[in-house]
Amino acid sequence: MKSLRAFFIPLLLLGTAPTESPAQQVTGQDLDKVLERADALLEEAKVAYAGAREKSSVEGFVDAGFKLEEARIKYIVLQELASPEKQKIAGDRLRAINQLGKLIHDGKVAISGAPTGSPTEKPPAPIPPDPGKEPAPITPAPFTPGPPGPLDVTKRLPIPEASGQRDAEKLIKELFKDQYAKKALPDRKRLARVLLDQASKSQDDPAALWVLCREAQDISAQNGDVTTALEATEAASRFFDVDGMALRNAALVMAGKTAKAPEDFAALADAMLKLTDEYVMADQYEAAEKASALAVQHARKANDVTLTLRTTSRNRDVTEAKMLFKAMKIVLETLAKTPDDPAANQEMGQYLCFVKGSWDLGVRFLMKGTDPVLKLLAEKETALPSKSPEWLALADGWWDVSEKEKSTLRKTQVVAHASQLYENSLEGATSLQKIKIEKRLDAASQIVPSTGAIDLIRLIDPKRDHVLGEWSLEGKVLSGGGGGIEFARIQVPYIPPTEYTLTLVVERKSGQDAFFFGLASGNSQWFVSFDSFLSTISGIGFINGQNVNTNETSIKSGQVLSVGKPVTVVCSVRKEEILVSIEGRRFTSYKGGFDHLSNPDYFKVPNTKSLFVGANWSRVAVSKMILTPISGQGKKLY
């Protein structure tokens, strides 16, 4: 596997931006001190990450990320200006930084469905699968608070020796020779899943683990199964000292050569966009440009106009970001030697916020900058305001900044950030303030390119969409149901596309019975239910007229939703499979045609093609309901 340096083109030497004063000369002695300080910052970031993990602290994760960014700056400069020996050290450290950066990001996301600084309850323990069901494939483990232990979080196993790989491969192909013998597409996809499942049980055998992940990746990529291929690369990069982004890129490039159906190209385009964002966050702009260009190609082959616009816009932004990064050479050199330089902090803060969209890190630099307006906004933001008026005032401040920006990329990033703050300020805002916020959000939608994701909660009007029970909307939280109401429900005024992913964050407020949500595709409408029959059974229904307690998706899980504990549910609706995951782990699934699915009379809503949410003898709060289209076109009812 190539090192990070093989992908990191020395952009810093290609151009500089005009500055008020010449860059400070960096000597060999300076570089020794830079390396020493960078290593110290990396260790501090590891300790900060462990502390944030133990305390489930979003602010702690942000602090770890800031220290990591300071270390990254120094290693980048070393990689370009130091001796070959120190350049190699810097390259290795940058790979460790990328690994730790992903852990920090995942940890922060896992404990916060709200903005940075508004931590929620710790997620509940994952629900174990039913012993009688198909074993769950290996997936990235969700963040679980707990003691950090002595393990260095950036350490990974070395790739096994070739001889060990050969022995493991021989044994694997003997054990699964019947599955390997089948060449039909569905059989090959099943084989990849079987191997990935076996990998989750083989962590005590590094050679077998590596080969199982590699085989699952290659087989799924060769058959256009993007989801499984990415799960395999994620599993490998969790355990082995490999460049995870390069591994994902290789899998996606291979899958792109065999993809045929429009939905396959749509999935590839979406995956390439996510990989592009990872490359940008790591300042690997050559690789980001290639990935975004491939995303455009895949989107066009998918014949999806919206996706094509998204990928084209992102490709343009990456090109601009690359040029702006080239201009950062003097700034990075200055910060490597003099971390508190006001002008350099100003430039770095604007680059992180306005170019990369790393606001939680960028504002820390802006606080030490020279612009009094940006400095004041940054100070207010790091104070982690919790009251609606504070969020609104902060949003107004950033909106004013956006109106002075001429760069499309920079303006878009600032408007997107202001929009998030405006949405955060909805809860508790007065009626007049809400009118202002909605107007700003509408204006922002004309500036910020659509990500394709749709915030379904924003579409709901409880008075208009109510079907049964008491439903209310406070800010971005939909609450409803009722302790004495059977099958309370509310229609979501949206007809989904053919294939999509629905992500919900739901919290039980009271009761012990079912929370359910309705899905649809084409002319079929059905539901997913948790804690049915007094918190004893969960599943997908109706299937061939059978409810969740009698069909093949039935899970006797015990209670999934506990009072006061938010749970993240992800449902992937595809032509070949409907997959339900909880807290990042596969929960249940259905394979078959949509025509076998139906909705019972007691779950009916006015539109038989729309989505819906409900609760039985219980009250629930849904704080997130995001739909990401994969193929086809969705439609708002109003």
pLDDT at 144: 32
* Beta-bridge partners for 613: 490, 517
The pLDDT assigned to 2 comes to 34
Amino acid at position 111, single letter: I
In a domain, 217, yes or no: yes
pLDDT of residue 279: 92
Total structural domains within the chain? 3
Strand, coil or helix: 196: helix
In degrees, rounded to 5, the angle at the alpha carbon of residue 268 between the alpha carbons of residues 262 and 270 is 105
521 and 405 within one domain: no
Domain boundary among 435, 452, 469: 452
Among 297, 324, 351, the domain-final residue is 324
| 146 in a structural domain | no
Three-state DSSP state, 606: coil
Contact 540, 527 (CB under 8 A): yes
Helix (H) or strand (E) holding 432: helix 431-445
Residue 356 has pLDDT above 80, yes or no: yes
In tens, the pLDDT along 263-273 reads 788 889 989 99
CB atoms within 10 A of CB 277: 17
The model carries a pTM of 0.69
At residue 383, the 3 state secondary structure works out as coil
Q: Which residue has the tokens 């499984």?
A: 228
Cα 64 to the center of its chain, rounded Å: 19
- Using only C-alpha atoms, the chain has a radius of gyration, in whole angstroms, of 25
Q: Is residue 412 part of a domain?
A: yes
Average confidence (pLDDT) over 297-322: 89
Instruction: Identify whether residues 437 and 520 lie together within a single domain.
Output: no
| pLDDT value for 111 | 65
Whole-angstrom distance, CA of residue 199 vs CA of residue 213: 6
pLDDT band at 97; cut points 50, 70, 90: confident
Whether pLDDT at 359 is above 80: yes
The predicted structure's pLDDT at residue 318: 95
Q: Verify that 494 and 600 share a domain, yes or no.
A: yes
pLDDT mean over 391-400: 93
Lowest mean pLDDT of 88-97, 466-475, 520-529, 629-638, name the range.
629-638
CATH code for the domain in which residue 499 is found = 2.60.120.560
Predicted local confidence at residue 382, as pLDDT: 85
What is the rounded distance in angstroms from the CA atom of residue 414 to the CA atom of residue 587? Answer: 38
Give the CA count within 13 Å in the CB-facing half-sphere of 359.
21
Residue predicted with more confidence, 3 or 631: 631
Amino acid type, 267 = A
Helix (H, G, I), strand (E, B) or coil at 497: coil
Q: Are 236 and 247 in contact (CB under 8 A)?
A: yes
Q: Which of 73, 49, 159, 158 is nearest to 358 (CA)?
A: 73
pLDDT of residue 182: 94
Determine whether 404 is exposed, middle or buried from the number of CB atoms within 10 Å of its CB (0-12, 13-18, 19+).
exposed
| Percentage of the chain modeled with pLDDT above 90 | 50
pLDDT band at 152 (very low <50, low <70, confident <90, very high): low
Banded model confidence at residue 147, pLDDT cuts 50, 70, 90: very low
Judged by average pLDDT, the poorest of 28-42, 131-145, 259-273, 578-592 is 131-145
Distance CA 248, CA 436 (A): 43
What separation, in Å, do the N-terminal and C-terminal C-alpha atoms of the chain show? 52
Range in 310-319, 416-425, 486-495 the model is least confident about:
416-425
Do 465 and 593 sit in the same domain of this protein?
A: yes
Pair (410, 474) in one structural domain: no
Among 52-61, 298-307, 491-500, top mean pLDDT goes to 491-500
Q: Please give the C-alpha separations between residue 504 and each of 70, 226, 397, 430, 580, in angstroms, as whole numbers.
A: 35, 23, 31, 27, 11
Q: What is the pLDDT at residue 450?
A: 66
- Distance, in Å, from the CA atom of 19 to the CA atom of 346, rounded to the nearest integer, reads 12
Q: What is the mean pLDDT of residues 130-145?
A: 34
Residues 555 and 470 in one domain: yes
CA–centroid distance for 5 within its chain: 25
Residue 139: closest CA among 197, 216, 215, 214: 197
**How confident is the model at residue 584, as a pLDDT?**
73
pLDDT tens string 31-81: 888 899 999 999 999 999 988 888 888 888 888 988 998 898 888 888 888
The predicted pLDDT at position 31 comes to: 86
At 25 the pLDDT is 59
- Residue 52's SS3 state is helix
What are the tens digits of pLDDT across the range 234-280? 889 888 988 889 999 999 999 999 888 887 888 899 899 999 999 99
pLDDT of 283 strictly over 70: yes
Question: Do both 399 and 417 map to the same domain?
Answer: yes
Q: What is the pLDDT of residue 17?
A: 36
Whether residue 289 is found in the same domain as residue 305: yes
In whole numbers, what is the pLDDT of the chain averaged over residues?
Answer: 84
More confident residue, 2 or 32: 32
Q: What percent of the chain has pLDDT over 70?
A: 87
Same domain (yes/no): 289, 318: yes
Q: Are residues 191 and 312 in the same domain?
A: yes
Tell me whether residue 13 is in a domain.
no
Exposed/middle/buried for residue 163 (C-beta within 10 Å: 0-12, 13-18, 19+): exposed
| Domain boundary, last residue among 402, 429, 452 | 452
**pLDDT per residue over 439-463, tens digit each?**
998 888 888 876 667 889 989 999 9
pLDDT, residue 387, reads 67
Do 535 and 619 have their domain in common?
yes
Its domain, for residue 536, covers: 456-636
Give 204-217 pLDDT, tens digit per residue: 999 999 999 999 99
- For residue 616, being part of any structural domain is answered with yes
Residues 307 and 184 in one domain: yes
Is the confidence at residue 1, as pLDDT, over 70?
A: no
* Residue 544: inside a domain: yes
Q: Kindly report the backbone phi and psi dihedral angles of residue 506, in degrees, each rounded to the nearest multiple of 5, phi listed first.
A: -125, 145
Peptide bond preceding 542 in cis form (omega within 30 of 0)? yes
Report, as an integer, the average pLDDT of 453-474: 91
Q: Is 14 helix (H, G, I), strand (E, B) or coil?
A: coil
Residue 466 within a domain: yes
Domain of residue 252, CATH code: 1.25.40
| Sign, CA torsion 219/221/227/230 | positive
Which residues are CB-neighbours of 445 under 8 A, at least 6 positions away? none
Indicate if the pLDDT at residue 488 is higher than 60: yes
According to DSSP, the residues that pair with 588 across neighbouring strands are 580
Mean pLDDT calculated for residue range 528-557: 93
Question: Which SS3 state, helix, strand or coil, does residue 298 take?
Answer: helix
Residue 184 in tokens: 């039909």
The answer to the question of residue 104 being in a domain is no
